Chains A and B, each alone.
Chain A
Amino acid sequence: MKSLLIVLVMLTVGLWTMPVSAAPGDVEYVDQIFTISPLGDGTIVVKHRFDAQTYIAWKNKYGSNISLLKRDWSKMLSSYDISDFDVKQSDMDRVVTITIGARGCVTTRGNGLCELEFPKNFRMGDKVGNTYSFNTSSKLDTGQVLQMSTRVVLPPEATDIKDSTNEVGNPLITYQIPIAAVMNARNSEKVVVKVEQAGLWGVNFWVWLGAGFVLAVVGFIFCIVSFFFRKRKVAAGGVI
């Protein structure tokens, strides 16, 4: 139904490289992590370390217009519903980190069976636990060498993970997800939404943990204090 469109050299070439003359041997590094939630949504984190000239070109194009970068990525990820987009730039290290929230990355085939489709030229790489990873190195038109490290992380609850191909020959990962995990993820999402609406975004866990700890300490103190409330001993027969 749809392809996982990240982790493509083509994409990186299209979005990152600018028409600049590169010195032979310039190397660019890209780390990409694609994490799938039990709901089938994804978080994509792309970290790109540029060489000096390409970074200048990148800044010229996107530096003052990050919405253009978002649009370009949204186009490339047209099979998903982009929910979040965040960019962090470090001029000192010439590193750009992009975090994208993408909904609807997985197709559910019924009874918890999920499918994650990849483009034809996608290499599955090595599988360790619930993570697929691979590294590539390629030479771009502009002369630079692009080194890419890619990881696809499936939900921890995923079981029966298999590689296959679909009817049009595209690589496919199928896995089974327990319905309880999906429901929990959904409930968790709802709680986060409620907390966000209450203006406590990002601190719900710590607020709860802290409140619990304080209550427990106060309770413990009460328990200790209770031992001081002893009955006074009075001598038999009169005043001492």
Chain B
Amino acid sequence: MVILRVLCLLLGGFLMLLGVGVAAAGVVHKYAGGTGATTASVETLDRSPGKLKKRLYYKKTVMTVAYKAYGNREAGTGQYWMAKLVLENEGKGLLKDIKISYRIPDWIGEWTTPDIAPELMPGQTFVYPIYPHFPARVATLRTRTPAEMQVRIQYTTGGETKEVVEKRPFEFRGINEIEYTSLPSEEIVNWYDQFDNSALIAAYSMDSDEAVQTYLSKISETMGGIDVPSNAKNVAETIYKIYNFQLRTGMTYAAAKGFPEKLGDVEAIVQNVRLPREVIQNNAGLCIELALLMCALCDASGAHSRLVLIPGHAYAVVQADDGSFVAFECTGVGGGRAGDKSTFAQALETGKKEFLQVLRGEVMGIVVDLRQHQSGGIRPPELPPIDKDALLRTLADRLREGGGTGAVNGGERRSQVVVTEKDAKAMPPVKVSIPILASWETDGALERAAKAAAPACKYMAHEESSGTYVQWYYVPTTNVDAFLDYLDATSSKLGLKYSFGKREKVRVDGRDSLKAPLGVMVANADFRGEMYGVPIKGGALYIIYAGPKDRSEELRDLIDRSMPKISIQEVN
């Protein structure tokens, strides 16, 4: 009995002590840092080796138009880092003298001056976002360009100095390429996800660009001055002047698909958006391009503009000094397949209606405050100087011709002059002689079909074996875009789709003419060639040479031999 009693007492005492110990351990672990703290000293930590764990996040693509934002740690409260390095000390000793530098061969050639973190204690984390200062020449890139980011980490631990270099590939996007979101397509859940990068659009609003300034000065000169945007009336007047100038100079809305419209519209996440200077140059733009140009012009006049993005569309909202807003539908200039032009009042009303829908939450919308984002560090790129005089001459020509020399890119023009059926059937007041090869067909089924589809086509010849052809049209107008619209409409009946490149001046049979490279899609075949526009009395002749892309040298030879011998003779 005594033994049993002693055993019980001992066991009870032991269990009580153990219980108190376990409970105390729980308390200590719950409230670490309180009683029972581990003792440690700098000397002990210094002797033990630290263990570096690193993670490097990086952007796989960089929008060159916004290259300044990636180099600015203040832009968007620092969210536009190019890479982000996270260092953790997983060891038992200190990591000391941590130096981080980076380089991007071909762009930032030398290792940057290292940033230093003096110490990282065990368990601590150090985050280092990288904001590279890209040279201005990145803004000259037109297409995607691969590059590599290299990050060097040097540190000392346990008396030993170590170095690690991490390399990550990425791509610069072309200056015109806008990436609406940086999210992978499988991560996109709703419409807002598609505009993860919407703030970077602010880099496209270039109110201080020479071309925009010159354009605005021409508007001011033509339309009788631009008012200070003190209230909504003044802002509306400024927009009215800009809009009317654009109508008078033949600015057109290229109604190509230009904006992410629905969820899963993955192809549209990256879009080619022309800079405002290019819209001025081409005299045509998509909704977002026209809206950005309007915003840039209004900002240049002293107002405060915003770009509003809604599913499938974009438009401008301009704020006056007194805080009032004017929303405007910039595609009212009309064009392409978008329909007719709108009056200023209609465009204003449409803009107002669209903006109210966003404000009421009836339509999803993102309001991009361009000025705020720009002052926050998302600034436009440095652009090469322009030939101001040439631009002013172009604008003067457009004013004189009423838009006759509009856009040149295929599918993005819109003429205010229409070639009617009667026009197309009109006989030319000239006799045209074009040298061709003797083996060519001049009155076959193909020629008859072409003339039937397009009565303005007065002559055609083609080579049976290759498909190379030459034809000339006569229309009683010198408006090139009117002819191109006519060609678009008639050639589509034959399954042909034309596109045209930049026009240049040439002389044809002693006459000031224009020339433009062309491409034709015939079924699945790719044809290339040239178009010559020759003004004649009462209208113009349009001569087209085209042939298979893989036989372009033969076509070149034909054109070079044929063109100098073309003869155009007036007939009474």
Which A residues contact B (CB, under 8 angstroms)?
1-3, 5, 8, 10-11, 18-21, 38-41, 56-57, 60-61, 64-65, 67-68, 71, 75-76, 78-81, 103-104, 107-111, 119, 155-157, 179-189, 191-192, 204-209, 211-227, 229-231
Question: Is B125's CB under 8 angstroms from A81's CB?
Answer: yes
- Shortest B117–chain A CB gap in Å is 7
A215 close to B359 (CB less than 8 A): no
Quote the shortest CB–CB distance from A18 to chain B (angstroms): 8
Most chain A CB neighbours (cut-off 10 Å) among B12, B23, B25, B123: B123
B81 within 8 A of A: yes
What separation, in Å, do the CA atoms of A181 and B361 have in the docked complex? 51
Q: Given the complex, which residues of A lie within 8 Å of B5, measured CB to CB?
A: 226-227, 229-230
Rounded to whole Å, the gap between the CB of B518 and the closest CB of chain A is 46
Tell me the minimal C-beta distance from B21 to chain A in angstroms.
7
With A104-B86, A205-B29 already in contact, the answer to whether A182 and B124 are too (CB < 8 A) is: yes
B147 to chain A, nearest CB (A): 22
Given A81-B125, A219-B16, residue A204 in contact with residue B29 (CB < 8 A):
yes
Other than A209-B27, A212-B22, A218-B15, give 4 A-B pairs with Cβ distance below 8 A: A68-B190, A68-B192, A211-B23, A230-B1
**A216 to B15, Cβ gap below 8 A?**
yes
Assuming the A-B contacts A65-B190, A182-B122, A182-B124, are A207 and B359 also in contact, with contact meaning beta carbons closer than 8 angstroms in the complex?
A: no
User: Can you sample 17 A-B contacts with CB below 8 Å?
Assistant: A19-B358, A19-B359, A19-B367, A39-B123, A65-B189, A65-B190, A81-B55, A111-B119, A180-B39, A183-B122, A184-B33, A186-B123, A205-B30, A212-B25, A216-B16, A226-B7, A229-B8
Binary A-proximity of B281-301 (CB < 8 A = 1, otherwise 0):
000000000000000000000
Chain B contacts to A: CB under 8 angstroms: 1-2, 4-9, 11-27, 29-30, 32-33, 37-42, 45, 55, 76-79, 81, 84, 86, 88, 96, 115, 117-129, 183, 187, 189-190, 192-193, 196, 358-361, 364-365, 367
A67 to B121, alpha carbons, bound, how many Å? 32
Q: Knowing A40-B125, A57-B361 are in contact, say whether A222-B9 is a contact too (CB < 8 A).
A: yes
The answer to whether A68 and B1 touch (CB under 8 A), given A157-B33, A180-B40, A183-B122, is no
Q: Kindly name the residue among A3, A183, A187, A226 whose own CB sees the greatest number of chain B CB atoms within 10 A.
A: A183
- A213–B16 CA distance with the chains assembled, in angstroms: 8
Query: Which residue in chain B gives the minimum CB-CB distance to A6?
Result: B77
Taking CB atoms, residues of chain A closer than 8 Å to B19 are: 211-219
The list of the 4 closest CB pairs from A to B, nearest first, reads A208-B26, A212-B23, A219-B15, A216-B19
CB distance from B313 to the nearest CB of A (A): 16
Given the known inter-chain contacts A40-B124, A219-B19, please indicate yes or no for A78 contacting B33, CB distance below 8 A: no
Q: Nearest Cβ distance between residue A205 and chain B, in whole angstroms?
A: 4
CB distance from A224 to the nearest CB of B (A): 8
> Given A39-B123, A109-B119, A188-B29, does the pair A229, B359 have CB atoms closer than 8 Å?
no
- In whole Å, how far is A107's beta carbon from the nearest beta carbon of chain B? 7
Assuming the A-B contacts A11-B77, A183-B38, A214-B19, are A108 and B119 also in contact, with contact meaning beta carbons closer than 8 angstroms in the complex? yes
CB–CB A186/B122 < 8 A: yes
